[in-house]
Chain A
Amino acid sequence: MNRFVLSTGAVITAALVTVLMAGLGRDPKHIDSPLVHQAAPAFALKTVGTGETVDIASFRGKPVVLNFWATWCGPCWEEHPVLNETARAHPEVQFLGVVFQDDEAKIQDFLRKRGSAYPTVIDDRGKTAIAYGVGGVPETFIIDAHGTIVAKHDGPITQEQLQSYLAEVLR
């Protein structure tokens, strides 16, 4: 029994298999956001249609649900009604939609046809999306009344998920 071979081999085997096992069950495409528990990056963007400027700092004192989306994104169409309903049901929470990489005419058309219970702004060069570490759409940030991000949700959000996030910030 060659002890050198056995020990080296055992170490390599154990290390490799453990690492690969740990990898199973994790989604390699999901990246944790480092912004959770950090201050929400500041921005001031123009509203679709009216051109009014909306500054996120002006919402200090109210919890904010910040939703990044685009008209070409399928799952965004699915979650839009959820956001609209919840916005109407919770006027104490500020909802804000941010669209980037999109066409203003298409956005206006979408909002007109499907209604909007909250303002939508355009992030023209995607600068705000970058500041928020947005990798795809839709992504939703839950911000508390002090301006700290408490959660980031990747992908379309459901009624239950949204309610549970809101329960946290409304406490």
Chain B
Amino acid sequence: MIVALVLLLIGAPQGAPQGVPLHGDALARRTQEIASGLRCPVCQGLSIADSPSEMAVNMKTEVHSMLERGYTREQIETYFVHSYGEFVLLQPRSPVIWILPIAALVFGIAIVAIMLRRLAAAPRTKKIDPDVARVRNLVKGTTS
């Protein structure tokens, strides 16, 4: 029995904890935080923090116990990625997904600046629709 327990413990593939063990409120809060970033593999897009399924609850318990033992967020996420793949992270590690919107923002600001300059340089007199001109003349005639 003790042998089994020991085997269970040293079987951990994540190596030694690199952080500080947590307790109480800090533990609960950090569990919630990290769990919100992990995807429930049996649900549609929910995090294990939000999902009521048993699988998610088990995973959340695992996060809790790893935090108690002092594992860092990096280590916990790496552990789950090792078993489930990058799919389990709700936020990709790749920077591309951040670069694209920022690039779009810069591009957009440039376009708006160009547009404002071009539209400000347009000639002052408007081209008047001939029908509108007729109406104007008629109205001027009646109101004068």
Contact = CB atoms under 8 A, between A and B. Distances in A.
A99 B13 CA distance: 22
Classify chain A: how many residues form its interface, as a range: 20 to 34
Interface in B52-68: 54-55, 58-59, 61-62
B4 A44 contact: yes
A42 B55 contact: no
Interface stretch (A75-83, A103-111, A121-129): A121-129
A34 interface: yes
Contacts of A130: 58-59, 62, 80, 83
B89 to A, nearest CB: 12
Interface in B4-30: 4, 7-8, 11, 13
A41 B11 contact: yes
A136 interface: yes
Nearest to B63: A130
B11 A42 contact: yes
Interface in B115-137: none
B7 A133 contact: no
| Residue among B1, B59, B83, B84 with most chain A CB within 10 A | B83
B95 interface: no
Interface residues of B, number: 22
Contacts, number: 67
B70 interface: no
B55 A44 contact: no
A41 B84 contact: no
A38 B1 CA distance: 28
Given A126-B54, A126-B55, A131-B13, A34 B81 contact: yes
A35 interface: yes
Contacts of A127: 58, 62
Given A35-B83, A130-B83, A135-B84, A43 B11 contact: yes
A131 B8 CA distance: 12
A31 interface: yes
A34 B83 CA distance: 6
B71 to A, nearest CB: 14
A161 interface: no
Given A31-B84, A41-B83, A43-B8, A135 B58 contact: no
B101 to A, nearest CB: 15
Contacts of A13: none
A27 interface: no
Contacts of B3: 53
12 contacts: A31-B84, A33-B85, A41-B13, A43-B11, A44-B8, A46-B4, A53-B1, A55-B4, A55-B7, A57-B7, A101-B58, A131-B83
Given A35-B83, A126-B59, A130-B58, 13 more contacts: A33-B85, A34-B85, A38-B82, A42-B13, A101-B55, A125-B61, A125-B62, A126-B58, A127-B58, A130-B62, A133-B41, A135-B84, A136-B42
